[in-house]
Amino acid sequence: MKNSFLKIGVVVLVVGGMLAGCGFLKNLLDPNVQKFNEDYNNYKSELESLDNDLDNAIKDIDGFGKTGGTSGIASSPLCGVTIDCTQVSQGILIFNFDGVTPCFSPSRTRSGAVQVELINGTSWAEAGAVMKQTFIDYKVTVLSNSRSIEVNGIKTLKNVNGHDWWGWIQGNVDHTYESRAFDVDVVWDNGQTAVWNHARTSTISWNPNGADPAVPNAHLAYSVNGDTTLNGVPTMDSWGTNRFGDAFTTRYEEAITSNTYCGLWRFSTGRLIHEVAGDDFTLELGVNQSGNPASTACAYGYEVSWNIGGNSNSVVLSY
């Protein structure tokens, strides 16, 4: 359970990723917009995969934010990584990736480094603790096609409520996290560049049996929302400039929610609007077959609405 907050990454729905699964819609997209949608999904999925690795390592290093921990260079159970713990007494770890070890599926290598620093608090478990991740030429290369993404920049993650596991298991306490990344530089395998930003708040709740009348069993409940105002527009999640020089934004008009009873990808609610290169797409999550909000415990699917080149339409799809 102690790394369950990272499962929020599964719930942070990437609009581009969902659109990429709609074959008929792909045929309508400008090739640049279609490529951006793929980029958007790859960028988020790689950073979320890294979050999972960092959490798995940090929870096993007692010296992170504490006293009497390991110092020096440590081997790691993670794939292709060594951890520099020489600054652990200052709450700093450096993850060095070897660039040659094949990891994951599809198989890919990772190179560069990520410095992890506890910049607020004495332990990641305490309320208000802030973890800073500095990406230093962090590069992921897919071996089957040599496509790569290289990231330089800073991301922070704030543990808003702390980890009161007993209160959480009783259903009395939520675990909430704020994630921030500004002006992150991205380089793709062909040398094209992009700048990415995000700001969102995510919450995990444990609902014991009977706590939620709409769901019959005990379950984990997740919610994610954009939480930044940009140009007067609130609940902005992501924005920046893609590899083609086009500005993009993704904002929430309703928070995404899901639970483990229905499955993390069977979203209960959520409304997102994605804009890029003059086109806009809206996802309405948690609908029935008619496209109306579902009245059952688990929804049928989602509705995609789009305005591409002045042409508007919509379709309801199942999860």
Distance CA 17, CA 19 (A): 5
97 has which bridge partners? 81, 112
Burial group, residue 214, by CB count within 10 angstroms (0-12, 13-18, 19+): exposed
Secondary structure class of 232 (helix, strand, coil): coil
* pLDDT, position 22: 59
pLDDT along the chain (319 residues), means of 10: 44 50 58 77 83 77 53 67 90 95 93 96 88 97 95 96 78 88 96 96 91 90 94 94 93 95 93 89 95 96 89 90
- The length of the chain in residues reads 319
Distance CA 132, CA 94 (A): 11
* pLDDT, position 62: 64
How far from the centroid of its chain's Cα atoms is residue 47's Cα? 7
* pLDDT, position 148: 96
* pLDDT, position 66: 43
Please give the model's pTM, rounded to 2 decimal places: 0.83
Supply the range of the domain harboring residue 292. Answer: 4-318
CB burial string 288-301: b at 16+ within 10 A, e below: eeeeeebeebbbbb
* pLDDT, position 124: 83
How many domains are contained in the chain? 1
Structural tokens at position 223: 């919610």
